[in-house]
Amino acid sequence: MPDAFAPAAEAGIHRLAIPTPFAVGRVNVYLIEDEPLTLVDAGPNSGRSLDALQRGLGELDHAIEDIGLVIVTHQHIDHIGLVDIVATHSGADVAAIDVLVPFIENYSETAAGEDEFAARIMLRHGISGDVVDALRSVSNAFRAWGARADVSRVLRDGDTIELRDRTLEVCFRPGHSPTDTVFYDADRRLLVAADHLIRHISSNPLIARPPGASDDPAERPQSLAIYLESLARTREMEVELVLPGHGDPITGHRALIDERFEFHRGRAEKIRELIAERSRTAYELAQALWGNIAVTQAYLTLSEVLGHTDLLLNAGRVREVEDDGVVRFEAVA
Ligand SMILES: [Zn+2]
């Protein structure tokens, strides 16, 4: 079988598949052989992941000490966990978009704040207190797979990163998380996209609080609506090869993005039908769609449902009715 990453390797970008403890499986870390030697993301903070990173670098005749720049794509812990270890051992610069800086520099506090915000959203949307508590301990247990890191180079949307042999344009694409950033090599028509676009899974726009935003769950961001806007911007780009944060490279990004648009339209319709049958909470909608939901999937599925009720709310097709702090969705005729 031909190596799907061969075209990237020809451009000097090597994929290192780093193990994670998460359902998503391995995370793609990219080594850009240029000056400085650049790593995009670093994998989760575990000995096993660090071994895999060192081994992968070794196979390419490099070592952690040689890395001069680490670029961070977004705030998720399967991407950021080893950034600090790599930067500390190599003295590398760490580059991240401005909105990601407070998150990664104060990782423990912001992660705890996010969990608190998530708990309020879950309670507001019909998930019971014991499930919320159970999920809080799961989330606590996973926290150590992330770690704080100092950012030495703050990026802004539209900035460029100049390496010896290439220029990467910094493009802010929030949605999958509030800090997603993709890096565009216009000369090679190549996009390092991390979790903004993944071939085999639709990138769940998890509800997360943008740094500095209100922690009132009634004012949560509309993650899916934001994500779809970001996808529309990416769709307009001239890209031949997308390097994702998980799974194989993507060609034909417009067709894949159109599939995603179609998928979300269909799911919003399905949810509108369920709401038209009778008013329901987002949690009841998730149960109607997926049956009995594992505790660990409760927030994920809730985010998925709320993303679509947001689209329906924006279109004036459903409304929220709040009773005793819990929201139900009702059809608008
Ligand atoms: Zn992610």
**3-class DSSP string for 151-166:** CCEEECCCCEEECCCC
The values of phi and psi at residue 67, to 5°, are: -70, 135
The alpha carbons of the chain give a radius of gyration, in whole angstroms, of 20
Q: What does the alpha-carbon distance between residue 118 and residue 130 come to, in Å, rounded to a whole number?
A: 14
Distance from the CA of 60 to the center of ligand 1, in angstroms?
26
Give the residue ranges of DSSP H helices in the chain: 6-10, 47-59, 77-80, 83-90, 101-105, 107-124, 129-142, 223-235, 253-277, 282-290, 298-314
Nearest to 162 by CA among 226, 86, 68: 68
Surface-to-core class of residue 103, CB atoms within 10 Å of its CB (0-12 exposed, 13-18 middle, 19+ buried): buried
Nearest to 13 by CA among 21, 5, 23: 5
CB–CB of 100/179 below 8 Å? yes
pLDDT the model gives residue 283 = 95
Distance from the CA of 317 to the center of ligand 1, in angstroms?
30
SS3 17: strand
Distance from the CA of 80 to the center of ligand 1, in angstroms?
10
Amino acid at residue number 145? W
Distance from the CA of 49 to the center of ligand 1, in angstroms?
17
pLDDT the model gives residue 163 = 98
Distance from the CA of 173 to the center of ligand 1, in angstroms?
12
For residue 331, what is the enclosing H or E element? strand 326-331
pLDDT the model gives residue 216 = 85
Distance from the CA of 181 to the center of ligand 1, in angstroms?
11
**Percent helix, percent strand, percent coil in the chain, to nearest 5:** 45, 20, 35
Nearest to 31 by CA among 51, 4, 58, 49: 58
pLDDT the model gives residue 73 = 98
Distance from the CA of 278 to the center of ligand 1, in angstroms?
34
The values of phi and psi at residue 81, to 5°, are: -55, -35
Distance from the CA of 322 to the center of ligand 1, in angstroms?
31
Instruction: Provide the token pair at 209.
Output: 């609080």
pLDDT the model gives residue 58 = 98
Distance from the CA of 309 to the center of ligand 1, in angstroms?
22
Distance from the CA of 102 to the center of ligand 1, in angstroms?
17
Distance from the CA of 180 to the center of ligand 1, in angstroms?
8
The pTM of the full predicted model, rounded to 2 decimals, is: 0.95
Spell out the per-residue pLDDT of the chain, length 333, in tens.
578 999 999 999 999 999 998 888 999 999 999 999 999 999 999 999 999 999 999 999 999 999 999 999 999 999 999 999 999 999 999 999 999 999 999 999 999 999 999 999 999 999 999 999 998 888 888 899 999 999 999 999 999 999 999 999 999 999 999 999 999 999 999 999 999 999 988 777 788 887 777 778 888 889 999 999 999 999 999 999 999 999 999 999 999 999 999 999 999 999 999 999 999 999 999 999 999 877 788 898 999 999 999 999 999 999 999 999 999 999 998
Strand order in the sheet with 190-194: 160-162, 167-172, 181-185, 190-194, 241-244
Distance from the CA of 88 to the center of ligand 1, in angstroms?
23
pLDDT the model gives residue 35 = 98
